[in-house]
Amino acid sequence: MNAVKELLDNFWIIRSTNKDKYFRARNDMEKILKFSGEFAGWQVISNEKLIKLEKIPVHAKPYMGITEFKEKEDYYFLCALLIFLEDLEDNDAFLLSEMIEQIEIILGEELKPDWTLYNTRKSLVRMMQYANEMELIIPHEGDIEKVSSDIKQEVLYENTGYSRYFVNIFQSDVFDCQNVHDFERPRAEGVNLDRGHFRINRVYRNLLLEPVAYYNEIGEDSDYIRAQRHTISKYIEEYLGTRLDVHKECAFLLFEQEDPFGEKFPSGTGQTLNDIILFMCGKCRDYVEEKELKEDLVSGGYRIPKDEFILCVKEVALKYGGAWSKEYREKSLEKLTEEIIDFMRGWRFLDTVPYSNEIELKSAVFKFRAHYPKDFDPDDIDGWNAKNTQEAVKKSTEARKKPDKAKQDNEKKAKKSQKKTDINDGQMSLFDM
């Protein structure tokens, strides 16, 4: 993986734990700076400790949060920890009780945590585990998990000093911001934000950080994507080795299956859920065609009642559920539907319509479809699996018994080729794949 992709794929690259990636990025810094500066408009932090690409989105989205966090208190505690660590030197040791005391002072009376509540203690545990995972702190003695049941449990930590690079650097005074949109809006008086590098930065940020860039959401930036699609494709291919797909209502990046870069759909992890979503994509497409629904003129999506979506989930479960893992076979229809909606909303396949009991199917949902083999029998899944296993074993046995003529021919050609290339060793690298 090249250095640009590694910086996109990682929050940061720390020298002490990822020396190979760190020095690869340092050696490729000219390319990184060109990509980040000319296209995405992101800053690069590079020093003797770490390298970080400050990946700031055009607009904050729910799925961009810290996935390990479950409550608002998790974020309160993280902010308080960062403030606490600011007053410490690198490699300074501190006790959990000392940090808790400071957290209470930092958060004040309004947000003062109630440590008698299990959920509050669990929030603290989640935050400290995340801080440890991100290498902001290093535990030396004690078990943070025990704090879930007893806040008086002691743990000894070390400050790594990386916390000062954790928060993004803002180009203007944050005290001038009144809401989240003020943080997103660039400060540039007398400059047209819809032209020049501001526009280019927005386009690349949307393509890189959003699963799908919908034209109705990005406004006039969609005109730039359509007009400059070949130029954008060229640079995306050059720096990331991926493909830009441009459609009537949206644009997105497509990656090779074996490419380890980023989080992808469908992926190898959570295979059952991936299968379910693929089936739901096909079912949604069939539903739209059967009902002859008209697309929304503004968004390009299709609105359906939530009750109808639940029926689609039920039909998919009845048809294919026999092959799902035990976890999903035993889930109630309500919980299964909720998980499907959360997943599909995160990948921008659908949106829940505010103040309405409707779901809007987005155009990306029609890009996918899946089915099991024709001989799949949901009523005899064990027999179907056994049959396919037997056939696979039979084919494997036959393959071992029969000599592979094509392989033998290739080996003969390789030997002949070797005799020829031995004469001209200097040309070997041209053909050595």
Tokens at 78, concatenated: 């993280």
Architecture of domain 271-367: Orthogonal Bundle (1.10)
Residue 120 has pLDDT above 60, yes or no: yes
Residue 397 has pLDDT above 70, yes or no: no
CA angle 359, 364, 366 (to 5 degrees): 85
DSSP state of 35: I
Residue 152 has pLDDT above 90, yes or no: yes
What is the Cα–Cα distance from 296 to 181, expressed in whole angstroms?
Answer: 27
What is the Cα–Cα distance from 218 to 104, expressed in whole angstroms?
Answer: 42
Give 394's pLDDT tier (boundaries 50, 70, 90): very low
Residue 100 has pLDDT above 90, yes or no: yes
Q: Are 203 and 222 in contact (CB under 8 A)?
A: no
> What pLDDT, on the 0 to 100 scale, is given for residue 176?
82
Residue 259 has pLDDT above 60, yes or no: yes
What is the Cα–Cα distance from 94 to 137, expressed in whole angstroms?
Answer: 10
Tokens at 83, concatenated: 């403030």
Residue 4 has pLDDT above 70, yes or no: yes
Q: Which residue has the higher pLDDT, 2 or 13?
A: 13
- The proportion of the chain whose per-residue pLDDT surpasses 90, expressed as a percent, equals 63
pTM of the model: 0.80
What is the CATH class of 73-165?
mainly alpha
- In single-letter form, the type of residue at position 272 comes to T
Tokens at 263, concatenated: 């989080």
What is the Cα–Cα distance from 250 to 217, expressed in whole angstroms?
Answer: 10
Mean pLDDT of the residues in the chain: 84
